[in-house]
Each structure stands twice: as C-alpha cells, then as structure tokens.
A and B are shown apart, each in its own frame.
Chain A
Amino acid sequence: MSYAFFPGCMIQLRLPYMEQAARKLLDLLDIEVLEMPGATCCGDPISFQSLGRDPWLAVAARNLSIAEEMGKDVLTLCSGCYETLKTANVKLKEEKPLRDYVNGVLSKLGREFKGTVEVKNLLEALEDAGEDKIEDGVVRPLKGLRVATHIGCHLVRPSDILGFDDPIRPVVFDRFVDLAGAESVPYVQKMLCCGAGLRMVEAKKSARLVEMKLEHVSEADADCIAVLCPFCMIQYDVTQRTVKRSDGGDFRIPVLYYPELLCLAMGVQPEELGLEHHRTSVESVLKKLP
C-alpha cells in the first residue's frame, strides 16, 4: 500500500518527533509514503476557514490536485488537515457549482480538482493495513499500561462529512490502543475538546480546558494520555506545564502520540523515537513497559 503523505505544518514544523514516529510505524507495517511536491498548509480549518470558506476550499483542492497527479490516496497525520482535505474532497465531488468555482481558480495555476482520490486519517490507514498484521507485529505488548484516549474533535466531527467512527462515542482509537496490549480506560468528559481552537484568542481560558481534562484523566488513574492530533499534543504536552492542579501540584501526565505507543509495542527502542522532545516527561510510561 502507498499513499501521498501529508504530515501537515504543525507536525513538520513544530513537532517533528511525531512525524518520525509515524514514519517508523508506517515503515514497520509496509505502508509506503510518497512526498507531495509543492504541498502547502492544508488550509487550516480554524483560522483560514473562518476568514473565507471558498479560499479555504481552494487551497485544500490545490493540495488534493497534487495527490491526484500522483494517482495516490492522501494519508494525513494531523486531524485539522484531515478535516480540511476531506471536507474539500467530499464537497467538491458532490457540489458541481462549487467545484466549477474552485476549478476556475485552479485553472489559473494550471491545476484541476478531478475528484479521483480519497483522504484517509492514520487510523483508517492502519485499518486498511489490517489489524491482524498489527497484532502479529506487537512483540512487546504494553501490558498493564492504563491509557486515556483523546481522539480529537476533527477526526470524527462533522460526521456528515468525515464519516469516520462515531462523533460522540467513538471506539476505533480505543480498539487500537488495546491492540498495542495496553488498556484504554474510561474517564469523565472523554470527548471534551482540547481547546486549541480557543488558544489564539483566549490562551488562559483555553488552558482551563486542558486543566479540566487533566483532572479527569488523573481521577481515572491513567498512566498517560494518547493523542492523534498535533494540536491536542501541544495542548496536553506543552500547555500542561503551565497549568497546575487546584491544590497547586503538578499533573505530570505523559502524553503520547499513538504511533509512539504502537512503535514501542512493536519493539522499537525508545531512543529511536525522539521521546526526549516531549515537554512533559514520558519516563514514567517507559518505566512501566515490560
């Protein structure tokens, strides 16, 4: 299997260790990723979509046209990119007037949106690779590791466009955490947004959402949070350092990117993953590994 690879700017330019772990995992599963020449920011579903929906769709469609030229489905790592690219793909395939407008713009760049490829998120690519294959590859199951999953809003909502898992009670991510031999634990307010979309205008209030999540995760006695999206990663891993418990103590809850967890379960050595770049230490998770 091979994909046109779209890591997105947050991962490429802020959190390259996430890209490192994802590439390693995809390689272990014989999923080939091909670079997209001329790719840019997806279009950004928060800031850019808010300023203009049509420009947003046009930038997304331009990126999609690159994958179409390659004849490959797009594999996105960032949930924001997933929402943007999938929305453009679905809408432009369905709505001819919108497609005509966008193609009018793209024609000035010598490009065209044809609607010939699909957009997938990482879990969909893993589903396509086969859960059996992952199970076979897990040589060091993460036995006893209690994981609080945070799937991230833009992977499952808006569900009428994205059509992946359940928008309110998703289960796929938890199943994948269990596949790595760890235990996905229930916790209160599991679907609470990380607050990244509020950070630009109200950083302090957005940190309050991080604090609420950390409180609930800590009540559930989880060893770590697992995320899929770089915005959630920044909120929980980086912003965590600025929020304290109501009693003044630190949370110190490690936040892992799912491919990091699965790589560890598949026998990759921790030092191959750049785990030291996390701002909240993941040492306590490593100590728990079998």
Chain B
Amino acid sequence: MKEMPEELDELIQEKVLFCYQCGACVGSCPTARAVPEYNPRRIIEKLVMGGWKDVLSGSSIWLCTLCHTCLEVCPQGVGLSRIIIELRNLAARNGVAPSEFLRSARQMASTGWTATVSSSVLRRRKQLGLPDVETTGVEEVRKTLELTGLADILEDKEG
C-alpha cells in the first residue's frame, strides 16, 4: 500500500480529526490497564500525523477488546472502537491479521461455528438431554464467505 486507501482518508476527515486528545478513551480502556504500552489516544494521534502505515501494519489495533467503552465516553463522538474495526478490516484486506483471528474465521468456514466441535462436549450435551447441534448451515456460510470476499482474505494468508 503506497497511497492512503480512500476509506481511510474518509475516516480521518469525518471522524478522527474531531479528536482533541483529551484521553477519556485511555482512562476507560481495559486493554490500557493490562497492557501499559497500549494507548488508544496515540493511535488517533498517529493517524492525524500521517502515520497510517504504521497503524495498519502494527499490532496495536488488534489489542482492543471491542468493549466499546471509549465510544460511549468520548466527548467528541469519535467512536474509537468503530474506527478500530474499520482499521482492522483495512489491514486484513491488505494481508495483515493475527493468525488467531484467521483461525477462528476458518473454523467457521469449515464447521459453521467458531467454537471447536469436540466429541466430549457433544456427549455431555446428550447426557444433559440437550438437542443436537445444527450442522446443516455450513454450506451456506461457506458460500456467504466466498460471495462477500472474506474467503479470499482467509486463503491469502494460507498460501
């Protein structure tokens, strides 16, 4: 990526530039409590200062828990957690996504579920008298991933 993607430019113009760096997002952020080097305000700052390439290729954006607290407390309505999602989407389209995220999506493509189907849990379900787990939707999910371009993202990383 040499040029800034159009979507990102729009995002910066329409949302990011409203940030006045008050830090309410940092104060309310669970990840910032657990990971001292994580600072959501700095992500915004970097975008404003033209450091979008670093942001998109870095690991920072993947540390957000998506608890959406920053979105609720931001006095400027920047909606940081939604910006993080947009940034992740952009990064993923450009071949950058943690393998754990991709694994979870591949699991969905192969079974229809993101949780692993284990025979011991299926046995426990029977013991508890719970109905069988649905398996008939997987083909349609696979097709949905192909039609929406997600299958390409999953494949690219595999190759």
Using a CB–CB cutoff of 8 Å, the interface residues on chain A facing chain B are: 9-10, 12-14, 16-17, 19-20, 23, 35-41, 44-55, 58-59, 62, 105-106, 108-109, 111, 153, 157-159, 167-168, 191-193, 195-198, 200-202, 205-206, 208-209, 212, 274, 277
Given the interface contacts A109-B144, A153-B68, A201-B62, does A50 sit within 8 Å of B85 by beta carbon? yes
Nearest residue (CB) in A for B68 is A157
Nearest residue (CB) in A for B147 is A105
Would you call B92 and A62 a contact (CB within 8 A)? no
Q: How many residues of B contact A (CB 8 A)?
A: 62
The 4 closest A-B pairs by CB, nearest first: A197-B65, A157-B68, A55-B148, A55-B150
Would you call B88 and A198 a contact (CB within 8 A)? no
Contact partners of A41 in chain B: CB under 8 A: 108, 112-115, 141
Would you call B68 and A62 a contact (CB within 8 A)? no
Given the interface contacts A20-B130, A47-B100, A47-B101, does A13 sit within 8 Å of B113 by beta carbon? yes
Would you call B97 and A37 a contact (CB within 8 A)? no
For this complex, 10 residue pairs linking A to B, each with C-beta atoms less than 8 Å apart, are A9-B113, A13-B113, A37-B134, A39-B134, A48-B105, A50-B62, A50-B66, A109-B144, A153-B66, A198-B34
B104 at the interface (CB under 8 A from A): yes
A-contact 0/1 string along B112-128, CB 8 Å cutoff = 11111110010011001
A41 to chain B, nearest CB (A): 5
A contacts with B: majority SS: helix
Contact partners of A193 in chain B: CB under 8 A: 30, 65, 67, 69
Nearest residue (CB) in B for A273 is B128
Task: Please report the C-alpha to C-alpha distance between residue A103 and residue B112 in the assembled complex, in whole angstroms.
Answer: 20
Using a CB–CB cutoff of 8 Å, the interface residues on chain B facing chain A are: 30-31, 33-35, 59, 62-69, 71-73, 81-82, 85-86, 88-89, 92-93, 97-98, 100-102, 104-105, 108, 112-118, 121, 124-125, 128-131, 133-134, 136-138, 140-141, 143-145, 147-150, 153
A165 to chain B, nearest CB (A): 12
A50 to chain B, nearest CB (A): 4
Contact partners of B98 in chain A: CB under 8 A: 200-201
Residue in A45, A53, A192 whose beta carbon sits within 8 Å of that of B30 in the complex: A192
Given the interface contacts A13-B113, A157-B71, does A46 sit within 8 Å of B62 by beta carbon? no
Contact partners of B59 in chain A: CB under 8 A: 201
A102 to chain B, nearest CB (A): 9
Given the interface contacts A37-B136, A50-B88, A157-B71, does A201 sit within 8 Å of B63 by beta carbon? yes
Contact partners of B117 in chain A: CB under 8 A: 13
B132 to chain A, nearest CB (A): 9
Contact partners of B104 in chain A: CB under 8 A: 44, 47-48, 200
Would you call A206 and B149 a contact (CB within 8 A)? no
